[in-house]
Amino acid sequence: MDQVLIEGLSLETVIGVYDWERKVRQRLELDLELRTDIRPAARADDLSRTLDYAAICQRLSDYADANAHGLVETFAERVAALLLDEFGIRHLRLTVRKPGAVAAARAVGVRIERSVD
């Protein structure tokens, strides 16, 4: 299966378990691997026959703006469910990084894979 890639998507959202984190927006970085068959789009040179990565990025930005989460894990699960439900993706791998969360690390985060059953 082919993959549509979105790498280094930067989003601002309220994320964290500490009181001070609930009052500020923090940056998350996302990498996505979205499995789909790109052949129909390539044959027809037609965006409507593939995953529109601009639309996906905008939807994720809107979601991050409108929602707050305590855990990066919760954010990742909800984003994965949104993508599977709204964009007809059958399988995805999602990495969510929270830069600067731990002083000694460039970033911390989670990587998940989810499929439609």
Distances (CA, A) of 18 to 23, 26, 70, 93: 9, 13, 8, 28
- Give CA–CA dist 62/81, Å, rounded: 15
Angle CA 6–116–96, to nearest 5: 35
Residue from 98, 100, 108, 114 carrying the catalytic annotation? 98
| DSSP SS3 for 61 | helix
Active-site annotation holds for 98: yes
Residue 36: how many other CB atoms lie within 10 Å = 20
Active site residues: 98
